[in-house]
């Protein structure tokens, strides 16, 4: 068990508080945001502190962080907060639902893995990854860092998901495919071959649009 400070005061922070409170041994003691976004002194009846002052109030030798933020700017905003916390010497926890199915998978920190995810054997997951509910994560695959899976994504075996990817609801990834860095896979898109970096894909079978994800 660890004492946890959650970054954020939005829906994901509220959900993280619920999941950690009802489905983990961790104790949530406070929330934190950057000073410019702090509009109150409490959230969910717990202290809300400036992130700039967190080391003074909740030192890193006694507390850990959790930053379950949405995939804004292709997960780079969540990466920024993650790196800021690391630079302050904090460890991040991961939350893995008791209703998810795993097989001794290697999973990094600051991951938020919700109910009904099936993560098959010999698949690894990096740092700062969100798997919303109901995804199928195929065997012998690699999910790298700073990635967001929405719900009911089917990823077949022997796939690689590179950094900074976002996968929409009901997207399907064929076996053996590499989803390149910064790929955005739209809702219900079917990926049958390797993608190109920082590109947007939609349709079934999916095609690359003219839109670059670097500016998303």
Calculate mean pLDDT across residues 176-187.
Answer: 98
pLDDT at 45: 98
Spatial strand order in the sheet of 160-161: 124-125, 142-143, 160-161, 178-179
Per-residue pLDDT, 216: 86
β-strand pairing of 160-161 with 142-143: parallel
Band (pLDDT 50/70/90 cuts) for residue 215 is confident
**Is the model's pLDDT at 8 over the cut of 90?**
yes
Q: How far apart are CA 130 and CA 64, in angstroms?
A: 18
Of 67, 107, 61, which is closest to residue 84 (Cα–Cα)? 67
| The pLDDT of residue 18 is above 90 | yes
The pLDDT mean for the chain works out to 97
d(CA 108, CA 145): 9
Residue 46 host element (H or E) = strand 46-50
Segment 27-86, tens digit of pLDDT: 999 999 999 999 999 999 999 999 999 999 999 999 999 999 999 999 999 999 999 999
Q: Are strands 46-50 and 42-43 parallel, antiparallel or unpaired?
A: antiparallel
**Contact indicator for 50, 34 with CB cutoff of 8 Å:** yes
């Amino acid at each position: 068990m660890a004492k946890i400070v959650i970054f954020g005061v939005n829906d994901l922070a509220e959900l993280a508080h619920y999941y950690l409170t009802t489905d983990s041994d961790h104790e949530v003691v406070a929330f934190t945001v950057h000073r410019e976004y702090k509009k109150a002194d409490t959230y969910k009846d717990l202290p809300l502190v400036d992130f700039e002052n967190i080391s003074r109030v909740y030192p890193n030798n006694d507390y850990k962080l959790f930053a379950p933020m949405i995939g804004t700017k292709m997960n780079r905003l969540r990466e920024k907060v993650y790196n800021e916390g690391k630079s302050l010497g904090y460890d991040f926890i991961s939350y893995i639902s008791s209703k998810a199915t795993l097989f001794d998978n290697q999973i990094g920190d600051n991951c938020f893995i919700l109910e009904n995810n099936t993560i098959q054997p010999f698949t690894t997951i990096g740092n700062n990854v969100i798997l919303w509910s109901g995804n199928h994560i195929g065997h012998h695959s690699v999910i790298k860092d700073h990635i967001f899976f929405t719900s009911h994504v089917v990823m077949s075996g022997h796939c690689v998901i590179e950094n900074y990817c976002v996968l929409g609801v009901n997207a399907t990834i064929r076996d053996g495919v590499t989803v390149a860095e910064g790929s955005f896979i739209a809702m219900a898109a079917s990926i049958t071959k390797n993608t190109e970096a920082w590109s947007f894909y939609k349709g079934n079978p999916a095609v690359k649009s003219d839109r670059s994800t670097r500016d998303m």
